[in-house]
Chains A and B, each alone.
Chain A
Amino acid sequence: MFDFPKHLYTDVRIEETSTTKISYKKSTLQEEKVRHNKGAFVRVFDGKRWYYASTTDVEKLQDTIDELASMATPDENIDDHPVVKAFETNQDTILQYEDTAIANVPVGKKRALMEEYLELLQAEAIVHHKSYYVDARTVKSIYSSKGANVTFDKQSCGIRMDLDIVFGDKKDQASVSRAAIHFEELAGLKDYFETEIDKNLAFVRDAEPVEAGTYPVLLSPLATGVFTHESFGHKSEADFMVGDETMAKEWKLGKEIGQKHLNILDDGNVHGSGYAPYDDEGTKSEKTSIITDGKLTGRLHSIQTAALMEEGPTGNARAVNFEFEPIVRMTTTYIDKGDKPLKDIVANVKNGVYIDTIKHGSGMSTFTIAPDRAYKIENGEITTPIKVSVVTGSVFKTLSLVDELSEEFELLSFVGGGCGKMEQFPLSVGFGGPYTLVRELKVE
């Protein structure tokens, strides 16, 4: 297919994406956009430095390869380089959504579904709303000079309604959404949306300012997912550790960093936002146990980080789109479920905070969660809604403060947004887990 230059490692990733976006302001159609785009990313490695190019001129990829090769210095022993040796040579085609491609669903049907749900936004307190239906199917093909030849597809669709809610002087924004893989899964969700809309209305009407302090905090599966992603997930990305002795020592495999019931996993094979059966280097995705029984047992790798750290590849080299090179990213990351019913966990909390939904999170030395809907827990019951700016904790201490994990468990996919890592945002990832009780977090 390509004439790969001699004595260099080369790979090519071609991405073909079909998308639909139908958006409304109140009940007025704003946009009906159907697109089909194609682009490619090329990498050449000479053993010392990488050369990358992204292009939309897919018909002239050979020229792009040759141009990058002309910048590199060929090395006749390139095949013996540890990074090149570690590249997999998978040959596989997984087109799971070819027969049920979302692009084949008529646009009129998508509009009709969206308009059916817009009928739910009649409450007087919803003074304005913006809503949209989106879908995307991407087919990726990865070819390498070592012989990799992998093609797979990924599909998602979703509905999101952003609401402006006003009760007198009490004003706030809220959103309700549902993501799916197949269009049919988005039908019949009236009860779900109605319940979520009602919860948001009640929250804006009744929420009180929180009394700042340190509390036991119960996290919903959504908040658990953000907590896992921000407090620990990024720390498991090996590109932060390569060539860094302090990090390698701090995050040494086998180290105890949580209680015995704590298990954290990352799995690109979970269907949803983080689905990636192969990563963007053509490496087969693994189910990686990052923490097992409270001990650090794994981390997430690209081929380069795996080779440099002499560990096995995990299939976590991902790019946000064809314009960027793959870097180490999470796929679907979650805390595994516990064995206690949620009601028993709540019953034991005297004075705490429950975080139901979130706006955003971040993680440096201090991780943060900015809640959307949060509630007091008083004497074993979830009670009054509270307005919270931010919840914070130390990334080094908080995992050991995870006291309870519920038997109830959810993995979630998302409409819009995603994970940001420097210039690459938003990457679609999945997360979730059980309801999680953290012994103490700062609540502002």
Chain B
Amino acid sequence: MKKETLSIRTKETTARIRNTAIEAVRTKDIVKKAVRVYDEGKIGIGGAVGDVDERTLEQQATDNLQAGVLYPHSLETGKDHRDLNPSPMDAQTMVQHTENVLNTLRKDFPEFSFSEAITVRETTYTMQNSEGLDLSYHDAAFELGLILKEKKSANLFDGFVVFEGRNFDPKRFWKFNREYLAAYNNPVDFPKGDKIPVFTFQSPEAKRFLMRSLNGENYATNSSLFSGKMGEKLFHEKFTLEQNRNPKESRTAFFDNEGVRMSEDRVPLIENGVLKNVFTDKETAKRYNLNHTGAAGGAYDGVPSLSTAPLRIKTDSKDIKKALKGQPAIFVVVSSGGDFTADGTFAAPVQLAFLFDGEKLLGKLEEFTMRSTIYKMYGEDYIGTFNPDTIYIGDDLQIQGYYMDIKR
């Protein structure tokens, strides 16, 4: 009988904020552990929240073998330990940063109130097995997530001030956020035209749609919009989408839930607009004769299976201002509630957006609706994916630009 152990430990200190003041301080130290056993092509799993004795979990896993869940795959081997942040910010420094940020917000931006949380979170994933696999990933980040509310507004909230990164540079943070809050206070007219360049952070709706369409099972069972189109050019020639497990870029473990690591931590799914791969775990790759991409997901104490994968668009462009050629653009900060229909048609209300010249946010726009399709957004209407220096909300920030149909 072969054996595999997994653990995820999360330590965090959070300052809870209400009305631009610390209301509470919360500490957390949670460990989740699982033991998998493999015998005669079957898998059994035991798991618990808390520092439960490994023998207890192994017994649970052995008992679970009688459920008869099949796992006819070989186990991974090899050692790889990566620590992306060996000296994370300590709790005291986090609270000091929090006090400083809140003092400045209270003093310089009294027309707003800010609430929610500032956190330092440290996570350690480990995975070992009886065949010699020994993986470890440690990372830590400073996460500032404040909801912004105009004191004169009757909305629940009006926007966000956010940052998430391994290091925090207060100078860059204030340079960007002073500009952002000044632009918020400067209502401006809408740029002319019905089709306008729009820049967004990675659209969660588009990501969800691509995730579903590039899932190997969906592709193979003909339920993906892209089924049967392997090798075809679907999008703009500079559009490249990867399954990216590079922790520096995607802040995710460099191995999947089967312990699989890929060369350079990435696999191209769409390369220069052409469909090259769909993401798969071991079972999906074998069952449907697809390339294996190491995309097994699932709960820490669940059977590894295919669900989602860390997708990231490759940065393909440098200079937004140059790409715009003097044309005014829109920068979307909050768009909540939109979605794609199954055929790839997209519509979304935009609650907070700014006039954008490619470098700076110039002023706040009224609410509007944007429309497109998945093929237009990343095809004929795609402007590019950029790493702008002037927008500081986290490490390795990316934004995408596309022409969108706008309805006010």
Of A53, A57, A165, A387, the residue contacting B27 (CB under 8 A) is: A53
A128: contacting residue among B217, B339, B342, CB under 8 A: B217
Check A287 for interface membership: any CB of B closer than 8 A.
Answer: no
- Residue A211 is within 8 A (CB to CB) of chain B in the complex: no
Contact B342 A56 (CB under 8 A): no
Decide: A35 near B301, CB < 8 A? Known: A245-B151, A392-B337: yes
Question: Does A173 contact B339, Cβ atoms closer than 8 Å?
Answer: no
Contact digits for B297-314, partner A, Cβ 8 Å, 1 yes 0 no: 000011101000000000
Contact with A along B125-144 (1 / 0, CB 8 A): 00000000000000000000
**Which residues of A lie under 8 Å from residue B51 when comparing CB positions?**
56-57
Contacts of A173 in B (CB 8 A): 212, 223, 342
Q: Mark B257-275, 1 if CB is under 8 A from A, else 0.
A: 0000000000000000000
Q: Indicate if A171 sits at the interface (CB-CB under 8 A).
A: yes
| Segment with Cβ contacts to B, from A1-9, A362-370, A411-419 | A362-370
**B24 near A: Cβ within 8 Å?**
yes
**Residue B338 CB within 8 A of the other chain:** yes
Contacts of B24 in A (CB 8 A): 49-52, 325
Query: Given contacts A362-B336, A366-B351, A368-B338, is CB(A392)–CB(B369) below 8 Å?
Result: yes
Knowing A128-B217, A389-B345, A389-B347 are in contact, say whether A56-B27 is a contact too (CB < 8 A). Answer: no
Looking at the assembled complex, report how far the CB atom of A440 sits from the nearest CB atom of chain B, in whole angstroms: 15
Asked if A425 is at the interface (CB within 8 A of a chain B CB), the reply is no
Among B67-75, B102-110, B323-331, the stretch in contact with A? B67-75
Q: Which of A53, A128, A388 sits near B341, CB closer than 8 Å?
A: A388
Query: Does A318 sit within 8 A of B, measured CB to CB?
Result: no
- In Å, the complex CA distance between A389 and B371 comes to 10
The A-contacting residues of B in range 147-195, CB under 8 angstroms, are: 147, 149, 151-158
A299 interface contact, C-beta 8 A: no
The reply on A25 being an interface residue by CB < 8 A is yes
Q: Which size bracket describes the interface of A in this complex?
A: 35 or more
Determine if B48 and A37 form an interchain contact, defined as CB atoms under 8 angstroms apart: yes
A392-B224 CB under 8 A given contacts A171-B342, A323-B30: no
**Is B338 a contact of A29 with CB atoms below 8 Å?**
no
* B306 (CB) vs chain A CBs: closest residue: A25
Q: Check: A247 CB closer than 8 A to any chain B CB.
A: yes
- Does the CB pair A243–B342 fall under 8 Å? no
* Minimum C-beta distance from A97 to chain B (A): 22
Cβ–Cβ < 8 Å partners of B70 in chain A = 28-29
Indicate if the CB atoms of A244 and B345 lie closer than 8 Å. no
Across the interface, do A387 and B341 meet the contact criterion of CB distance under 8 Å?
A: yes
In the bound complex, residues from chain B placing their C-beta under 8 Å from that of A240 are 156-157
CB distance B151 to A244 under 8 Å? yes
The residue in A30, A55, A242 that gathers the most chain B C-beta atoms within 10 A of its C-beta is A30
User: Whose C-beta in chain B lies nearest to the C-beta of A56?
Assistant: B50
Asked whether, in the complex, the Cβ of B218 is within 8 Å of the Cβ of A164, the reply is: yes
Evaluate contact between B156 and A52: CB separation under 8 angstroms. Answer: no
- Tell whether B230 is near chain A: CB-to-CB under 8 Å: no
Segment with Cβ contacts to A, from B14-22, B248-256, B355-363: B14-22
Do residues B49 and A29 form an inter-chain contact, with CB atoms below 8 A? no
Q: 1/0 per position for A245-284, CB-CB distance to B under 8 A?
A: 1110011000000000000000000000000000000000
Chain A neighbourhood of B334, CB < 8 A: 364
Q: How far is the CA of A204 from the CA of B64 in the complex (A)?
A: 39
How many residue pairs at the A-B interface have CB separations less than 8 Å? 190
Write out, one digit per residue, whether chain A residues 17-47 have a CB within 8 A of any chain B CB (1) or not (0).
0000100010011111101111100000000
- Residues in B212-269 with C-beta less than 8 Å from chain A: 212, 217-218, 221-225, 227
Interface flag for B113 (CB, 8 Å): yes
The yes or no answer to A123 lying at the interface (CB within 8 A) is no
- Contact pick for B339, options A212, A246, A247, A389, CB 8 Å: A389
Q: Mark A92-115, 1 if CB is under 8 A from B, else 0.
A: 000000000000000100000000
> Chain A residues with Cβ under 8 A from B221's Cβ?
127-128, 164, 166
In the assembled complex, B45 has its CB within 8 A of some CB on chain A: yes
- Chain B residue numbers with a CB within 8 Å of A21 are 302
Evaluate whether A247 and B369 lie within 8 angstroms (CB atoms) in the complex, with A389-B340, A390-B339, A392-B337 already known. no
> Nearest Cβ distance between residue A376 and chain B, in whole angstroms?
15
B343 interface contact, C-beta 8 A: yes
User: Is B23 close to A, CB under 8 A?
Assistant: yes
**A188 at interface (Cβ–Cβ under 8 A)?**
no
Residues of B with C-beta under 8 A to A30: 69, 303, 305
Interface presence of A13 (CB below 8 A): no
Q: Which residues of A contact B153 (CB under 8 A)?
A: 246
Determine if A390 and B349 form an interchain contact, defined as CB atoms under 8 angstroms apart: yes
CB-CB under 8 A from B29, the residues of chain A are 55
A387 to B342, CA, bound (A): 8
Bound CA span A49–B24, Å: 5
Distance A31 CA – B25 CA, assembled complex (angstroms): 38
B31 within 8 A of A: yes
| Complex alpha-carbon distance, A47 and B154, angstroms | 29
B391 interfacial contact with A, CB 8 Å: no
Distance (whole angstroms) from the CB of B217 to the closest CB of chain A: 6
A400 to chain B, nearest CB (A): 15
Residue A54 lies at the interface, judged by CB distance under 8 Å to chain B? yes
Distance to closest chain A CB from B288 (angstroms): 11
Q: Is B54 an interface residue (CB 8 A)?
A: no
Query: Does A423 touch B at the CB level, under 8 Å?
Result: yes
In the bound complex, do residue A365 and residue B155 qualify as a contact, i.e. CB atoms below 8 Å apart?
A: yes
Q: A172 to chain B: which residues have CB within 8 Å?
A: 342
Contact in complex: B64, A32 (CB < 8 Å): yes
* A contact residues around B152 at 8 Å (CB): 246
Give Cα A57 to B221, complex, Å: 46
Compute how far the CA of A213 lies from the CA of B224 in the bound complex, rounded to whole angstroms: 29
Q: Kindly state whether residue B388 has any CB partner on chain A within 8 Å.
A: no
- A128, A246, A365, A368: the one within 8 Å of B151 (CB): A246
CB pair A32 B67 closer than 8 Å: yes
Beyond A53-B28, A242-B18, whether A364 also contacts B151 by CB under 8 A is no
Task: Please give, as numbers and ranges, the residues of chain A lying within 8 Å of B345 by CB-CB distance.
Answer: 209, 387, 389
A221 within 8 A of B: no
Contact residue among B16, B343, B371 (Cβ-Cβ distance under 8 Å from A325): B16
Asked whether A29 and B337 contact (CB < 8 A) given A128-B223, A244-B113, A444-B347, the answer is no
Chain A residues lying within 8 Å of B303, measured Cβ to Cβ, are: 30-31
Contact of A31 among B69, B154, B222, B348 (CB under 8 A): B69
Chain A residues whose CB sits within 8 angstroms of the CB of B27 once the complex forms: 52-54
A137 CB within 8 Å of chain B: no
Q: Which residues of A contact B (CB under 8 A)?
A: 21, 25, 28-33, 35-39, 49-57, 71, 107, 127-128, 164-166, 170-173, 204, 209, 212, 234-235, 239-240, 242-247, 250-251, 323, 325, 359-370, 387-390, 392, 396, 422-423, 442, 444
The 9 closest A-B pairs by CB, nearest first: A368-B337, A56-B50, A50-B24, A164-B223, A444-B347, A250-B154, A32-B67, A362-B337, A52-B26
Chain B residues with a Cβ under 8 A of chain A: 16, 18-19, 22-31, 45, 47-51, 64, 67-70, 113, 116-117, 145, 147, 149, 151-158, 212, 217-218, 221-225, 227, 301-303, 305, 334, 336-343, 345-349, 351, 367, 369, 371
16 contacts between A and B (CB under 8 A): A21-B302, A29-B70, A36-B48, A49-B22, A49-B23, A51-B26, A242-B18, A247-B154, A323-B28, A366-B349, A367-B337, A370-B337, A387-B342, A387-B343, A392-B369, A423-B117
Known: A33-B302, A39-B30, A246-B153. 7 other contacts (CB 8 A): A21-B302, A38-B49, A55-B30, A173-B342, A244-B151, A362-B336, A392-B369
